[in-house]
Structure 1
Amino acid sequence: MSVYAAVAGPRVEFATLSRQGQRAYNEDACGYWHSAEGACFIVSDGAGGHGGGDVASETAVRTMLSAFSASPLLARESIEALVAQADSAIRYGQGLAGNLSQMSATVAALFLDGQARQAQWIHLGDTRVYHFRRRECRLLTKDHSIVQNFVDAGMLAESRVRGHAERNLLFAALGMGEDIPPTALTEPFGVEEGDAFLICTDGFWEVVLETEMLDELLCASAAQEWLVRMERLIIDRQASGQDNYSALAVWVGCPNEATVPWSAPGLKGLELLND
Structure 2
Amino acid sequence: MTAYKIEAGTAQHIGNRPQQNDRAALFTGARAPGYVLAVLSDGITGAAGADQVLHTARQVFDGFKPADGPDIERLAALLHEIISETHTVIKMNAIAAKAEIQASFVGLVLSPHGEAVWAHVGDSRLYRFEDGACALRTGDAAYVEHLILSDRLPPDAARNHRRSKLLLNALGNSRKEPFVTTGSHSGLKAGDSFLLCSDGLWHFFTDAELGAVTAKSTPRQASEKLIEKAAERSQGKGGNCTMAIVKLVEPAQGGAFANPGR
- Normalised TM-score (structure 2): 0.80
Query: Which residue number corresponds to residue 127 of structure 2?
Result: 130
Quote the Cα distance in structure 2 between the aligned partners of 1:57 and 1:240.
24
Greater CA drift, 173-182 or 191-200: 173-182
Decide whether aligned partners of structure 1 residues 116 and 243 sit closer, same or farther in structure 2, where only a CA change above 3 A counts. farther
Query: Which residue number corresponds to residue 23 of structure 2?
Result: 29
The reply on whether 1:57 has 2:50 as its aligned counterpart is: yes
Whether the 8 Å CA contact 2:41–2:198 is kept in 1: the answer is: yes
Alpha-carbon RMSD: 3.2
The reply on whether 1:208 has 2:205 as its aligned counterpart is: yes
SS at match of 2:16: coil
Quote the Cα distance in structure 2 between the aligned partners of 1:168 and 1:18.
23
The reply on whether 1:139 has 2:102 as its aligned counterpart is: no
Decide whether aligned partners of structure 1 residues 139 and 267 sit closer, same or farther in structure 2, where only a CA change above 3 A counts. closer
Whether the 8 Å CA contact 1:13–1:251 is kept in 2: the answer is: yes
**Post-superposition shift, 1:146?**
8.3
What CA deviation, in whole Å up to 9, does each residue of 1:3-46 have, x standing for no partner?
xxxx9652111011121100111110111111524110000001
Query: Gaps spanning 5+ residues in structure 2: where?
Result: 67-71, 148-154
Quote the Cα distance in structure 2 between the aligned partners of 1:244 and 1:145.
25
**Post-superposition shift, 1:70?**
1.2
SS at match of 1:104: coil
Quote the Cα distance in structure 2 between the aligned partners of 1:188 and 1:146.
21
In the alignment, residue 37 of structure 2 is paired with which amino acid? C
**Post-superposition shift, 1:139?**
2.9
Identity fraction in percent = 20
The reply on whether 1:224 has 2:220 as its aligned counterpart is: yes
**Residue from 216, 230, 240 that aligns with 1:244:** 240
Query: Which residue number corresponds to residue 150 of structure 2?
Result: none
Query: Which residue number corresponds to residue 81 of structure 1?
Result: 81
Quote the Cα distance in structure 2 between the aligned partners of 1:79 and 1:146.
18
The reply on whether 1:179 has 2:172 as its aligned counterpart is: no
Decide whether aligned partners of structure 1 residues 260 and 171 sit closer, same or farther in structure 2, where only a CA change above 3 A counts. farther
- Normalised TM-score (structure 1): 0.76
What CA deviation, in whole Å up to 9, does each residue of 1:67-115 have, x standing for no partner?
01210555223321111011111111102213xx2110001011011x1
SS at match of 1:96: helix
